Structure 1
């Protein structure tokens, strides 16, 4: 059951990194290019980046199933490998049609920035490291489990 919850949390983290992180980066880049820059938009973008960083940090450091970090790491690393092998195919996965909602397009353009600068590769490797820890795959031992069998005093064993 713990691994099913980890899988679901991994899907949420993937959406947060791709959607929330991409949107925040696009807002920050667009605000930096604006003359004069809008401080309110910049604070909102930085808050969104901090929220995505908090989610990633909690999943990486927490005692959740390793699937919670494995799912987003594989998505980010796979997309980076596709980008390295075929740039046009990797960029074609980003929604950019005018029929798509503006927020989704902003998230896509921010994801393009993160993909082309290698941030997704860095984040994918950082999220993959907890998967390699054997202690993350086993569950914690309860204190009650240690007293498996009590022996009467004076026994031979």
Structure 2
């Protein structure tokens, strides 16, 4: 479920997180944060690094270190879709969503389903309070399915 948020809100959360853990508040970290939250979809560290090189001088190590901080602050989440390189995605304001992952081409598509959301939200767990979820469905996309059918 997407919630309304602003970049200022995300920056405040990140600033508080850095202060609580006595990390430096560097322009590079905030540039990475702004880039992530101004773009949609999944990304990997290499794509983020290449995009940052267009406007900023940041090292790949800085990108990875900042991603770790953003993971720890729960502003982004890390996905391992099959054997692909790790993918990241902003999670602040998007606490409940699902992914369909094609096992042939690796394409990842997000989808929303009210019945799945309702089932998970209505489920009561013993000694556990659910705050968010991510569901992965693995299969074959329609494009790959059509290609497989042509070969048969």
- Range into which the TM-score falls when normalised by the shorter chain: under 0.3
**Higher relative contact order, structure no. (Cα contacts within 8 Å, ≥ 6 residues apart):** 1
Larger relative strand fraction: 2
What TM-score do the two structures reach when normalised by structure 1? Answer: 0.26
Structure ID, larger Rg = 1
| More helix per residue | 1
- TM-score (ref. length: structure 2): 0.27
